[in-house]
Amino acid sequence: MIRPKRLGMTLAHRAAILLYIAFALFPLYWLVKVSVTPNDLLYSEGVKMWPSRATLDHFAFVLEHSDFPLFFRNSMIVSVSTAFIVTLLSSIGGYALSRFTFRGKFWIVGLMLLTQMFPLVMLIAPIFKMLSPLGLTNSLSGLVLVYVAFNVPFATFLMQSFFDGIPKDLEEAAMIDGATRFMAFRQIILPLTLPGMAATLGFVFTAAWSELLFALMLISGVDASTFPVGLLSFVSKFSVDFGQMMAAGVLALIPACIFFLLIQRYLVQGLTAGAVKG
Amino acid sequence: MTEAVSAPYGRDRRPFLRRLANASEPYLYSAPALILIVTVMLVPLVIGISYAFRDMTLLDPFSGGFIGLDHFRAIAKDKTFWLALKNTVYWTGYSVGLQFAFGLILALLLDKPFYGRGLAQALCFLPWAVPSFLSGLNWAWMFNPVVGPIPHWLYGMGLMSAPDNILSDPDLAMWGPIIANVWWGIPFFAITLLAALQSIPRDLYEAAAIDGATPFQRFRSITLPFLAPTIAITVMLRTIWIANFADLIVVMTNGGPADKTQIVASYIFTQAFRRLDFGYASAIALVLLMLLMIYSLLIVFLRQTLLKER
């Protein structure tokens, strides 16, 4: 039997959830809506919830006649390489922090915490000055190098919390049976941390995909522009064509959302592990 | 603790090389990450601090000399800097406050089991996956009366005298980036707080309910004390992070109109990126770093005193 008061609470709860979902999704819905509105209806039906005619012309134009496919490719290269390199480095680094007690560990953790505290904008000028003589400005590898370094500290802490959740007995048993630690790590521990690695991979991919300020500073040519840089220069150059800009925006949104939906469950688990400890 | 470190060396009969390999293992594992952090973050940080005391303009071959505290004297007289500092407090305070309040409500809503919770959770957290530059652009478009609905709604409700772009209204412009930031950042607080909520033992609530505690009493005496440590640490970290977060401002208003939305972080970026004045940019960054450190120390100190009083 459900008491009326309880039913009222339940209804209020569901309504609040729906309200928040509407708030969360509306801007994204609007982005999609404008991107499929034909130009001649853009102003006359500006505030309507859905245009009377929908078209994919803006997408076709952006894909065929603009530099966005190039920006998309550049961003993909940068984000995927960053994500894989960071996951690799943070897995072994996080394993070391989780399983060993060694001299200097305190300072290493302190150093990594420090990198999370200071304003990254502070590094824009010196990094530009350092990378420029090495030929790493205006290059995708320079961007990957910078992004990997920025994301490694947090990813290492994240991976450490995943390793902490795996009992030590597993690899100790394997080592008694004659495996080296590295073999035990690779064959027993790594497969168990795959969800954690997926979360790290997704997290870093999204971070690299979104990064704007360093990309703006380090990249000046069209050839090496990432998506944010391309979209922003598009905005300042042709501020009139909203349909095309929003179509490009939707394209930028797709990879980030796919990654997010795949990993969000692991991400909540991962942060749970981190939060419980912290 | 591993055998390599814990085993007393005197009785260890394994060959020397093997022992050396074992002892160096943790260093080998953490070395790649560490080397990168030092070369790409720590070295530039030190160089950046040195720039603050030098006349450093890109493209100017005669720059680079030490000028002592000149930049800091200029900052003290720089009206835009003081305005930006005021705006930073405003921007950070409202963003963190609103993100936290709504994040807590969302976490409490999602903590109850209900049908379709997994899907609801994924949808609620989706804004977090939207790249920051895109959420900035998207909200800038929403505020634009040409393609966005918000000015028309506000006009329809009688809150605005004409459907204008609030991003170009000097008095209201700051609310544009703040709203975009709140929308984008609620999931972060919700995720962390939800994680903390789920670690509270359920039997505590049951026991309290049996003793006749009202839901509000349960929230105050069980939930809040359990959440307090998480709240303290996330609010502190998030405050620092948001004070440094220039993306939304750079994308949405570029500091305008008339520097009304310029925060210190976006001002640093403008100095480095547009004026190529690396020295001045680094000096402002150093001031920001100092202020944030004072803030963190204050919070830590406050926490210690509060803990002692308990």
Give the integer Cα–Cα distance in Å for A187 and A173. Answer: 13
Distance, C-alpha A121 to centroid of its chain: 19
Q: Are residues A47 and A73 in the same domain?
A: no
Judge: A212–B133 Cβ closer than 8 Å, yes or no: yes
| Residue A18 structural domain | 1-55
Return the pLDDT at B1: 40
Task: Retrieve residue A222's tokens.
Answer: 């069209």
Q: Are residues A195 and A88 in the same domain?
A: yes
Question: Is 90 exceeded by the pLDDT of residue B180?
Answer: yes
Q: Are residues A130 and A74 in the same domain?
A: yes
- With respect to residue A209, please indicate whether it lies within any of the assigned structural domains: yes
How does residue B7 score in pLDDT terms, banded at 50, 70 and 90? very low
Give the integer Cα–Cα distance in Å for B40 and A111. Answer: 13
Q: Give the residues across from B125 on adjacent strands.
A: none
Number of domains in chain A: 2
Judge: A122–B285 Cβ closer than 8 Å, yes or no: yes
- With respect to residue A205, please indicate whether it lies within any of the assigned structural domains: yes
Question: Is 70 exceeded by the pLDDT of residue B13?
Answer: no
Return the pLDDT at A265: 67
**Per-domain residue ranges of chain B:** 3-51, 72-309
Give the integer Cα–Cα distance in Å for B190 and A113. Answer: 23
Q: What is the CATH number of the domain that holds A184?
A: 1.10.3720.10
Kindly identify which residue of chain A lies nearest to residue B115, measuring between CA atoms: A14
Return the pLDDT at A270: 55
Give the integer Cα–Cα distance in Å for B250 and B257. Answer: 12
Nearest CB partner across the interface for A275, out of B148, B196, B244? B196
Q: Are residues A190 and A98 in the same domain?
A: yes
Give the integer Cα–Cα distance in Å for B162 and B158. Answer: 9
Alpha helices in A100-226 (DSSP H): 105-115, 124-131, 140-164, 169-176, 181-184, 190-192, 194-210, 213-218
Spatial contact of A155 and A271, defined as CB atoms under 8 Å apart = no
Q: Is B61 on the interface with A (CB under 8 A)?
A: no
- With respect to residue A171, please indicate whether it lies within any of the assigned structural domains: yes
Q: Are residues A191 and A90 in the same domain?
A: yes
Nearest CB partner across the interface for B131, out of A27, A108, A228? A228
Give the integer Cα–Cα distance in Å for B245 and B264. Answer: 10
Q: Taking residues B50-74, report their average pLDDT.
A: 80
Judge: B29–A95 Cβ closer than 8 Å, yes or no: yes
Return the pLDDT at A277: 41
Contacts of A2 in chain B (CB under 8 A): none
Nearest CB partner across the interface for A212, out of B56, B128, B247? B247
Q: Which of B54, B60, B137 to mutate to test the interface with A (most CBs of A within 10 A)?
A: B137
Q: Which residue has the tokens 């922090």?
A: A97
**Sequence letter at residue B260:** K
When mean pLDDT is compared over A74-88, B60-74, B133-147, the highest value belongs to A74-88
Give the integer Cα–Cα distance in Å for B93 and B104. Answer: 16
**Sequence letter at residue A75:** S
Spatial contact of B123 and A257, defined as CB atoms under 8 Å apart = no
Kindly report the backbone phi and psi dihedral angles of residue B54, in degrees, each rounded to the nearest multiple of 5, phi listed first: -125, 155
Q: Give the residues across from B277 on adjacent strands.
A: B57
Return the pLDDT at A157: 87
Distance, C-alpha A85 to centroid of its chain: 14
Higher-scoring residue by pLDDT: B83, A220: B83
Domain end marker among A32, A55, A78: A55
Three-point CA angle B177, B180, B184, nearest 5° = 135
Return the pLDDT at A276: 40
Domain end marker among A35, A55, A75: A55
Burial class (CB in 10 A: 0-12, 13-18, 19+), A62: buried
- With respect to residue A208, please indicate whether it lies within any of the assigned structural domains: yes
Spatial contact of A152 and B37, defined as CB atoms under 8 Å apart = yes
What Cα–Cα distance (Å) separates residue A44 from each residue in A38, B96, B145, B227?
A: 11, 38, 12, 50
Domain end marker among A55, A79, A94: A55
Residues in chain A where the model's pLDDT stays below 70: 1-3, 46, 236-240, 265-278
Contacts of A124 in chain B (CB under 8 A): 268-269, 272-273, 281
Q: Give the residues across from B57 on adjacent strands.
A: B277
Torsion (CA) B207, B209, B214, B220 in degrees, nearest 10 = 30
Question: Is 50 exceeded by the pLDDT of residue B5?
Answer: no
Burial class (CB in 10 A: 0-12, 13-18, 19+), A53: exposed
Q: Give the residues across from B66 on adjacent strands.
A: B54
Judge: B45–A21 Cβ closer than 8 Å, yes or no: no
Q: What is the pLDDT of residues A18-44, one digit of tens each?
A: 999 999 999 999 888 888 888 777 777
Q: Are residues A72 and A31 in the same domain?
A: no
Q: Taking residues B118-135, report their average pLDDT.
A: 87
Q: Is A123 on the interface with B (CB under 8 A)?
A: yes
Q: Is A73 on the interface with B (CB under 8 A)?
A: no
How does residue B8 score in pLDDT terms, banded at 50, 70 and 90? very low
Q: Average pLDDT, whole number, for chain B? A: 84
Q: What is the pLDDT of residues B286-305, one digit of tens each?
A: 999 899 889 888 888 887 78
Q: Is A265 on the interface with B (CB under 8 A)?
A: yes
What CATH number is given for B72-309 in this structure?
1.10.3720.10
Spatial contact of B294 and A146, defined as CB atoms under 8 Å apart = no
Give the integer Cα–Cα distance in Å for B66 and A48. Answer: 60
Q: Are residues A200 and A76 in the same domain?
A: yes
Q: What is the pLDDT of residues B217-261, one digit of tens each?
A: 888 888 888 888 788 888 888 898 899 888 899 888 888 788 888
Judge: A119–B268 Cβ closer than 8 Å, yes or no: yes
How does residue B205 score in pLDDT terms, banded at 50, 70 and 90? confident
**Sequence letter at residue A252:** A
Q: Closest Cα partner for A234 from A77, A225, B248, A79? A: A225
Give the integer Cα–Cα distance in Å for B247 and A38. Answer: 30
Q: Are residues A38 and A97 in the same domain?
A: no
Kindly report the backbone phi and psi dihedral angles of residue A130, in degrees, each rounded to the nearest multiple of 5, phi listed first: -75, -40
Q: Are residues A185 and A89 in the same domain?
A: yes
Kindly identify which residue of chain A lies nearest to residue B249, measuring between CA atoms: A213
How does residue B118 score in pLDDT terms, banded at 50, 70 and 90? confident
Q: Taking residues B141-160, report their average pLDDT.
A: 85
Q: Closest Cα partner for A160 from B247, B26, B288, B136? A: B26
- With respect to residue A61, please indicate whether it lies within any of the assigned structural domains: no
Return the pLDDT at B52: 86
Question: Is 50 exceeded by the pLDDT of residue B126?
Answer: yes
Give the integer Cα–Cα distance in Å for B95 and A24. Answer: 16
Judge: B134–A210 Cβ closer than 8 Å, yes or no: yes
Question: Is 90 exceeded by the pLDDT of residue B97?
Answer: yes
Torsion (CA) B199, B201, B205, B208 in degrees, nearest 10 = -130
